[in-house]
Structure 1
Amino acid sequence: MIKLYTDAATLGNPGPTGLGALIVSPEKNLQLKQTLNSASNHEGEFAAAIAGFKAVKEQFTADETILFYTDSRLVSDAVGKGFAKHYEAQLAELLALIDIFNFVVTKWIPEKQNQGAHNLANQALHANES
């Protein structure tokens, strides 16, 4: 079983955005940080989830069970409903990645329970500051 935590941090809305993903498995833990030049908070949350699932796809097999945690209600609700007004392309890409795996459980969690991914997103956002 693999736990995937994702988050985004945006300076301005839209603005520079940091993405964070924390992947926890019995074999290894992975930390992912990326930046986007400009994105809205919601775009960042989808991008973080997409980046996280891409990393899981590269590191693990499709028969793994994935517990996907996000503090974005928009992302968790969109995955559950298969619909996201204004974010159809991002959701389609995310669902295509989710569909690779045999079993994925998506769960919304409060920000305070998502500190690992939150810290990674903030580190990515502020990495280029002097």
Structure 2
Amino acid sequence: MPQIYFDAATKGNPGESTCGIVIIVDNERHYFTESLGLMDNHRAEWEAFILSLKHAAELNVNNALVYTDSKLIGDSIEKNFVKNEMFKSYFNEYKQLQQKFDLVFVKWIPRVQNKEANQLAQTALRKHLKKRNKK
């Protein structure tokens, strides 16, 4: 089953944010990084989650095991609701995106098991900040 790892990096809270996504399909790795703009770290994690599903759909992934080190997202998906009104639009977008897949499992993992996505997000943030500071 294809695997999706994602993570967000934020400088400040709120602050500049980026994300890193690794999608593994048939032992082939697909890497994505994106600048997310100014937001808090929880919103950045939700943005990264949504983007990871969109990229997986573009790769024609039908079934996916999604790994996150965000307890907020892991708990929200497991319990099938979000408490914070601020994240309901992300949860609703997840529910719509979920329909593009036959199966989507979301599993919380410790940060140490999400190193590749974390490093991608951190590198993207450093590059983004360096580029911005040169302007």
TM-score, reference length from structure 2: 0.89
Q: Which amino acid aligns with 1:76?
A: G
1:1-130 → structure 2 map (5 Å cutoff)? 1-26=1-26, 28-61=28-61, 64-84=62-82, 85-86=84-85, 87-128=87-128, 129=130
Counterpart Cα distance in 2 of 1:99 and 1:126 = 35
Counterpart Cα distance in 2 of 1:113 and 1:41 = 19
Counterpart Cα distance in 2 of 1:97 and 1:6 = 16
Equivalent residue pairs, number:
128
Instruction: Point out where structure 1 has 5 or more consecutive residues left out of the alignment.
Output: none
The structural deviation recorded for 1:36 is 1.8
Instruction: Point out where structure 2 has 5 or more consecutive residues left out of the alignment.
Output: none
Q: Who wins on radius of gyration, i.e. which is larger?
A: 2
Higher helix share: 2
Counterpart Cα distance in 2 of 1:100 and 1:38 = 29
The structural deviation recorded for 1:27 is 5.8
Question: Which stretch shows the higher mean deviation, 96-105 or 42-51?
Answer: 96-105
Counterpart Cα distance in 2 of 1:21 and 1:102 = 21
| SS class of match (1:100) | coil
| Off by >6 Å, runs of 4+ in structure 1 | none
Report Cα offsets for 1:24-64 as digits up to 9, x if no partner: 11063100100122011110000001111000000114xx3
The structural deviation recorded for 1:112 is 0.3
Contact 1:24 1:30 in 2 (8 A): yes
Q: Which amino acid aligns with 1:42?
A: H
Counterpart Cα distance in 1 of 2:35 and 2:6 = 13
Question: Which stretch shows the higher mean deviation, 94-103 or 110-119?
Answer: 94-103
The structural deviation recorded for 1:12 is 0.6
TM-score, reference length from structure 1: 0.92
